[in-house]
Amino acid sequence: MVFCLENEEQRRPLRSTMVHFQASEVQQLLHNKFVVILGDSIQRAVYKDLVLLLQKDSLLTAAQLKAKGELSFEQDQLVAGGQLGELHNGTQYREVRQFCSGSGHHLVRFYFLTRVYSEYLEGVLEELTYGPAPDLVIINSCLWDLSRYGRCSMESYRKNLERVFLRMDQVLPDSCLLVWNMAMPLGERVTGGFLLPELQPLEASLRRDVVEGNFYSATSAGDHYFDVLDLHFHFRHAVQHRHWDGIHWDQHAHRHISHLLLTHVADAWGVELPKHDYPPGCGPGVNFVPGPLPPPFSGPIPYGQHRGPVVHRGMPRCVPSSPYHVPRMGEPCRQRPRHSDRLIHTYKLDRRPPAHSGTWPG
């Protein structure tokens, strides 16, 4: 991982081969799909931006990003917790949201997590077992795990990572795509309600702990053949889009996350996306500056860095209901058990070049 210090660098247009999605394309890609998003307030913003992008080509407002536990957001519904209960910053905080499009062809649900594995998560998994089976699960939990559960938090986090991926493997159908979002880089100073006054001594080490936690979570996800999106890598030079609290990010960053996620999902499902002739830095919702990329390393990689984003990829999924053209390659597409011989790139297993850069094959 690469740390990047705060700076006053002015915003420049994003130059990337990543696909920039319009609302109509997101509607088609997720047509008749059930998406479940689990995690903290950053994952809640991931949910909100996806819900917004399913309806219109606009960005979240600062007020929408900051809001917590509201009764309704952009035609969604608060199902449990939030303002229906008690708003607080404790580890027992709950918030469940759901969006169902007017056509009934899109269902997105969000569960707020304060720990990657717990009795509460078991209840969530029970809902997913006896309710509609999800087609896509997007999950992350890291900051709460490493800062709110005592001195041995990293050891507990590693054990809980193994538990959650094992349970996901048992509960989710083989047709479900799970994407683990790695935690995003923190600022030098972490403030606000997330880090309680009595936990301020943890501030100095939390950035390093997140890097270590990301390593363990990505490795564990790869060991269970789940996909990983390395948001820490993608946002390591985008500090100007991080809020003053050192944790949260602005609406341009979250639209960029949506584009990264949707590009990854389309690639995993074997979906051929329409190409747009946008000039570099242009396109719907693009006003994001990742900063200059470092030159590629030709020799040994310095400690704490890697050449590119962590890429864990499974075999392309069957998407029989996709409105896009899916090119047929080789034998007819068929579902595969999750523990089959998939193309997986992890820190420790495969030294070959990755199948793609983690955004979109160029």
Q: Evaluate if residue 155 carries a pLDDT over 70.
A: yes
Give residue 178's region: left, alpha or beta (phi > 0; psi -120 to 50): beta
Task: Categorize the per-residue pLDDT at 146 as very low, low, confident or very high, splitting at 50, 70 and 90.
Answer: very high
* pLDDT tens-digit readout, 238-290: 999 999 999 999 999 999 999 999 999 999 999 988 776 554 444 444 444 55
pLDDT of 272: 87
Beta bridge mates, 33: 106
pLDDT recorded at residue 326: 29
Q: What's the rounded mean pLDDT across residues 308-315?
A: 46
27-44 average pLDDT score: 98
d(CA 197, CA 193): 9
Taking a C-beta distance cutoff of 8 angstroms, is the pair 328, 278 a contact?
no
- The mean pLDDT of 228-238, rounded to a whole number, is 96
Neighbours of 96 (CB within 10 A): 17
Q: Which helix (H) or strand (E) holds 50?
A: helix 41-53
Q: What is the mean pLDDT of the chain?
A: 78
**How do the domains of the chain map onto residue ranges?**
23-294+304-312
Looking at residue 294, what is its pLDDT?
Answer: 39
Which residues, other chains included, contact 106 with Cβ-Cβ below 8 Å and sequence gap of 6+? 27, 30, 31, 33, 35, 54, 99, 100
**Which tops the pLDDT comparison, 222 or 358?**
222
Residue 55 clears pLDDT 50, i.e. is over it: yes
- CA separation, residue 342 to residues 93, 161, 332 (Å): 38, 21, 17
Q: What is the Cα–Cα distance from 13 to 289, expressed in whole angstroms?
A: 6
Among 146, 104, 158, 127, smallest CA distance to 36 is for: 127
Write out the two tokens for 156. 């507990």
What is the pLDDT at residue 269? Answer: 95
Percentage of the chain lying above the pLDDT 90 cut:
62
pLDDT tens-digit map of 61-72: 999 999 999 999
Q: What is 189-242 written as a DSSP string?
A: S--STTS-GGGGGGHHHHHHHHHHHHHHHHHHHHHTT-EEE-HHHHTTT-GGGB
CATH of domain 23-294+304-312: 3.40.50.1110
Cα separation, 223 vs 293, in Å, equals: 29
Region of poorest pLDDT, from 15-19, 222-226, 335-339, 347-351: 347-351
User: Over 60: is that where the pLDDT of 319 sits?
Assistant: no
Closest CA to 153 of 198, 208, 209: 209
The CB density around residue 13, as the number of other CB atoms within 10 Å, is 14
Task: Kindly provide the b/e burial profile for residues 37-69, where b requires at least 16 CB atoms within 10 angstroms of the residue's own CB.
Answer: bbbbbbbbbbbbbbbbbbbeeebbeeebbeeeb
Q: Which residue has the higher pLDDT, 335 or 105?
A: 105
Q: Has residue 325 got a pLDDT over 70?
A: no
**Higher local confidence (pLDDT), 298 or 349:** 298
Q: Which amino acid is at 170?
A: Q
